[in-house]
């Protein structure tokens, strides 16, 4: 692998970010920081890098809250007020 597997822009980081933001899996990573360095896609990645991307994607447990669905507040029990 070209860099540490958890750095910003790494295959693991990009997989994790894609899952967090609800994007479909699309293996890629950046040579340095995300968006400010060369991007590598699945056609130029090693199998190890692709596996790291998928590991990051599959291990991500969070999900971005886009604020699209509001929940109703707890109903007021007026007999207790």
pLDDT at 14 over 50: yes
Question: 81 pLDDT exceeds 90?
Answer: no
Query: Could you please report the per-residue DSSP string of 7-24?
Result: STTSHHHHHHHHHHTTPP
CB 32 within 8 A of CB 2: no
Checking if the pLDDT of 76 tops 80, the result is no
What are the sequence ranges of the domains in the chain? 1-63
Q: Give pTM, 2 decimals.
A: 0.75
What is the structure's pLDDT at 2?
Answer: 47
Nearest CA-CA partner of 12 in 61, 56, 46, 70: 56
Question: For 33-72, what is each residue's pLDDT tens digit?
Answer: 899 999 999 999 999 999 999 999 999 999 988 887 655 5
The per-residue pLDDT for 12 is 97
């Amino acid at each position: 692998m070209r860099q540490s597997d958890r750095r910003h822009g790494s295959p693991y980081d990009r997989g994790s970010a894609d899952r967090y933001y609800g994007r479909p899996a699309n293996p890629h990573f950046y040579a340095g920081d995300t968006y400010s360095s060369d991007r590598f896609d699945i056609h130029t990645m090693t199998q190890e890098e692709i596996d790291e991307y998928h590991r990051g994607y599959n291990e991500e447990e969070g999900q971005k809250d886009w604020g699209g669905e509001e929940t109703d507040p707890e109903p007021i029990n007026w007999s207790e007020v």
